[in-house]
Homo-oligomer: A and B are copies of this chain.
Amino acid sequence: MAPAATPNSPEIREIRQEGPHHFVFSPYIEPQATVVPGETVAIYTEDAFGGRISEPEHLPSKVLGTQLNPQTGPIFVEGAEPGDTLAVKIEELEPTRDWAVSAFVPFFGGLTGTDATRLLHEPLPERIYFYQLADGVFNYEDRFRIPWRPFLGTMGTAPEIEALSALTPHRHGGNMDVRDTCPGNTLYLPVNVEGALFYTGDMHGAQGDGEVCGVALEISGRAVLSFDLIKGKAIEWPRIESPDKLMAVGSARPMEDAARIAYVELVRWLADDYDFDPLDAYQLLTQAGSLYVGNMVDPNYSLVAGLQKSHLP
């Protein structure tokens, strides 16, 4: 399940959203661009706030509204049909500006009441944090220094019949906010509709596990991605392959369901592609699996289960 990739060619095609960005992963939107399997393109993405927070006075409650996490796409992948798997290798991620922003958004985040964990508290204070990026490090007032470790917070395909908010991660990928959708890794996504209809956005300059306040180092950027297709092979949930690891992403609530999904998907991968008895895979993952929290703030929580390839037969 390792697609060929032809990155970094000089004549690489650039995809900028010509019309408005979208806020849903939808099968009902006209493609903005087309790629062929094997092709590498550079895609420009807005930050998760659509750039609306760029000054200290841009309080989230005043400027954000309901349209969040603008996506570039959909991108039609030639030949993709339901039942195939789309492979997207992240070749390179670059920022298109020299600062990132985080913020406390009222009733959003992992350590606050939210619209789902609905309580009677007043919201936590709003605050905006601007980080300056220089020499590969984000700097917040000389107090926090966070190395540039970028990934795409949101990548996914269109669901079969639903149009899901760009804030929601699920089987189709979406707003997973897991740090392993980073340069060098390949994300595998289910193809649910003709052409797959790929969307991406929400570049994070860096993020801690769980993205606990809900807002990472949000930045606009340029993503060089290679697309490939695995025909006639379906997966149920997103998978990620790094040079040395197999991973699967489960997105659900409560969090234990996300963990179960991720580990079962990894059992399936080992069974289908590496000839494991499923229960033996269960045993091996017990002793050698990894499991971290990508996000604990989105409409579904995303967990990543993994296994070093050194354990493969």
Task: Give the complex CA separation of A108 and B313 in angstroms.
Answer: 28
How many residues of chain A have a CB within 8 Å of chain B? 85
Contact of A210 among B145, B263, B313 (CB under 8 A): B263
Q: A210-B263, A256-B255, A284-B144 are in contact. Are A127 and B279 (CB under 8 A)?
A: yes
Q: Which residue of B lies closest to A160 (CB)?
A: B66
Query: B289 near A212 (CB under 8 angstroms)?
Result: yes
Q: A110-B260, A162-B24, A253-B257 are in contact. Are A216 and B287 (CB under 8 A)?
A: yes
Task: Give the complex CA separation of A161 and B25 in angstroms.
Answer: 10
Query: B259 near A210 (CB under 8 angstroms)?
Result: yes
A233 to chain B, nearest CB (A): 19
Q: A104-B279, A119-B111, A163-B162 are in contact. Are A296 and B287 (CB under 8 A)?
A: no
A291 close to B (CB within 8 Å): yes
Kindly specify which of A13-21, A53-61, A181-189, A201-209 makes contact with the partner chain. Answer: A201-209
Query: A287 near B117 (CB under 8 angstroms)?
Result: no
Query: A254 near B252 (CB under 8 angstroms)?
Result: no
Query: A286 near B116 (CB under 8 angstroms)?
Result: no
Query: B124 near A121 (CB under 8 angstroms)?
Result: yes
Q: A144-B283, A208-B290, A291-B293 are in contact. Are A120 and B112 (CB under 8 A)?
A: yes
The residues of B that contact A143 with a CB separation of less than 8 Å are: 280, 313
